[in-house]
């Protein structure tokens, strides 16, 4: 529902989360049920008795649909269904949900919130960028090497394996095989072996191995499904962006595993983490550098010469290539241009 009283437009709910039966507008006391129906108007004799209260409920978002517990809303009554929208990315959403052996994730462990003085697309681009990790995060890699958990050379080698995929609708992902201790988020999980066993029991060894890989899944324009968290980009102005990271907890696993996942997430992510702030520093570096109008273009062609279209229509490149960024920027261009250069690329 839209958070807007029908009378004078005041927001009727100012809490981020909680439970309530009613929303009472603080301005003139109009009361709505939690289904949005207008239940009461103070001093109702100020309106004629013919007033149709049933037409004055809170306005509903035109379309809401869910997939595996993720709720999507559309502000347009027209357009593709959620099923059509998710087409190519759906199986990767499934992989992500199935990180829980019972297929259920929860996002109930609070939120890391970042802000940065830069454009939202810098975060969009970075989240599916498999190229920067060895450079921007050298500092973090040295930290984990020093902790004796892995080596910089093992991590940098792992980051050269696997693929990136550019999908329809601007979606895309990084898709790397399971990397053991060289994978970034497995440290300090004493119950890891038990967890792997649970996944193999639930899905069989082959699918379990797929699920355990590193997949950073991007749903254009602003939703990421990461191993450790859900990330939502909120563009506030052209050069001011807020990013929200909600840690993902797995249902059906030992409690200690989720606690360890939370601690491991905090080590890298969040405004005080030892990884993510270095990414954000790159966003503001780019925002600064692009003020220099020496050339109009950035280079997004990495891997263009070696990417292939597979039988599912995915554009597949090596894991440091820029196929997902190209997919995202093509969709962005298509949506932003009054006269788009061609139909949706390349699935039209």
Using left for φ > 0, alpha for ψ between -120 and 50, and beta otherwise, residue 215 falls in beta
The answer to whether residue 262 forms part of the interface with another protein (CB under 8 A) is yes
* CB of 36 or CB of 277, closer to another protein: 277
Pattern 205-224, another protein, x by CB under 8 A: --------------------
Answer for which of 288, 304, 335, 347 binds another protein (CB under 8 A) is: 288
Pattern 312-331, another protein, x by CB under 8 A: --------------------
Q: Which stretch, 40-48, 89-97, 256-264, 329-337, contacts another protein (CB under 8 A)?
A: 256-264
Pattern 4-43, another protein, x by CB under 8 A: ----------------------------------------
Taking the complex as a whole, how short is the minimal distance between the CB of residue 268 and another protein, in angstroms? 11
Kindly give the residue spans of alpha helices, DSSP state H, lying in the chain. 82-86, 90-97, 120-127, 133-136, 138-146, 152-158, 192-212, 255-268, 276-289, 323-336
Q: Which stretch, 66-74, 268-276, 298-306, 310-318, contacts another protein (CB under 8 A)?
A: 268-276
Q: Which stretch, 82-90, 177-185, 264-272, 336-344, contacts another protein (CB under 8 A)?
A: 264-272
Measured from the Cβ of residue 347, the count of other Cβ atoms closer than 10 Å reads 12
How many Å from the N-terminal Cα to the C-terminal Cα in the chain? 33
d(CA 222, CA 127): 10
Taking the complex as a whole, how short is the minimal distance between the CB of residue 113 and another protein, in angstroms? 4
| Binding residues for another protein restricted to 122-141, rule: CB under 8 A | 136, 138-140
Are 178 and 213 contacting, i.e. CB atoms less than 8 angstroms apart? yes
* CB of 94 or CB of 138, closer to another protein: 138
Question: Quick one: which H or E segment has residue 316?
Answer: strand 315-318
The answer to whether residue 232 forms part of the interface with another protein (CB under 8 A) is no
User: Strand, coil or helix: what is 17?
Assistant: coil
What is the widest separation between alpha-carbon atoms in the chain?
A: 77
* CB of 168 or CB of 184, closer to another protein: 184
Listing DSSP states for 85-145 in one string gives HHGGGHHHHHHHHTTSTTS-EE--S--EEEEESS-HHHHHHHHT-SSSHHHHTHHHHHHHH
What is the number of alpha carbons within 13 Å of residue 98 lying toward its C-beta? 20
| Binding residues for another protein restricted to 83-122, rule: CB under 8 A | 108-118
* CB of 99 or CB of 261, closer to another protein: 261
User: 179 has which bridge partners?
Assistant: none
- Binding residues for another protein, rule CB under 8 A, total 44
State the residues that interact with another protein by CB under 8 A.
108-118, 136, 138-140, 142-143, 146-147, 239, 242-243, 247, 259, 262-263, 265-267, 270-274, 277-278, 280-282, 284-285, 287-288, 291
């Amino acid at each position: 529902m839209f958070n807007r009283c029908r009378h004078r437009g005041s927001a009727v709910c100012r809490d981020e989360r909680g439970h309530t039966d009613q929303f009472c507008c603080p301005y003139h006391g109009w009361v709505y049920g939690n289904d949005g129906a207008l239940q009461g108007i103070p001093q109702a004799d100020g309106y004629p008795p013919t007033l149709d209260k049933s037409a004055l409920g809170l306005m509903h978002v035109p379309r809401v649909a869910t997939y595996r517990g993720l709720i999507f809303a559309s502000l347009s009554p027209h357009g593709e269904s959620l099923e059509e929208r998710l087409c190519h990315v759906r199986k990767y959403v499934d992989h992500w949900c199935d990180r829980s052996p019972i297929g259920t994730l929860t996002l109930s462990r609070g939120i890391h919130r970042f802000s940065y003085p830069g454009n939202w697309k810098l975060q969009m681009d970075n989240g599916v960028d498999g190229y920067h990790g060895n450079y921007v995060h050298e500092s973090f890699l040295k930290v984990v090497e020093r902790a004796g958990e892995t080596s910089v050379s093992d991590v940098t080698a792992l980051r050269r394996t696997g693929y990136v995929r550019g999908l329809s609708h601007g979606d895309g992902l990084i898709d790397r095989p399971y990397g053991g201790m060289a994978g970034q988020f497995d440290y300090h999980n004493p119950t890891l072996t038990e967890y792997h066993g649970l996944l193999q029991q639930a899905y069989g060894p082959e699918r379990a191995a797929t699920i355990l890989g590193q997949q950073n899944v991007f749903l254009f324009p602003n939703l990421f499904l990461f191993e450790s968290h859900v990330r939502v980009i909120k563009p506030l102005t052209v050069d001011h962006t807020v990013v929200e990271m909600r840690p993902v907890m797995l249902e059906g696993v030992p409690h200690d595993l989720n606690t360890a996942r939370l601690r491991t997430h905090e080590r890298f992510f969040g405004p005080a983490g030892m990884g993510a702030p270095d990414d954000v520093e790159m966003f503001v570096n780019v925002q600064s550098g692009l003020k220099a109008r020496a050339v109009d273009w950035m280079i997004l062609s990495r891997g263009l010469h070696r990417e292939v279209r597979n039988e599912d229509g995915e554009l597949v490149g090596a894991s440091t290539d820029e196929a997902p960024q190209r997919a995202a920027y093509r969709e962005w261009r298509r949506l932003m241009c009054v006269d788009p250069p061609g139909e949706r690329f390349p699935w039209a």
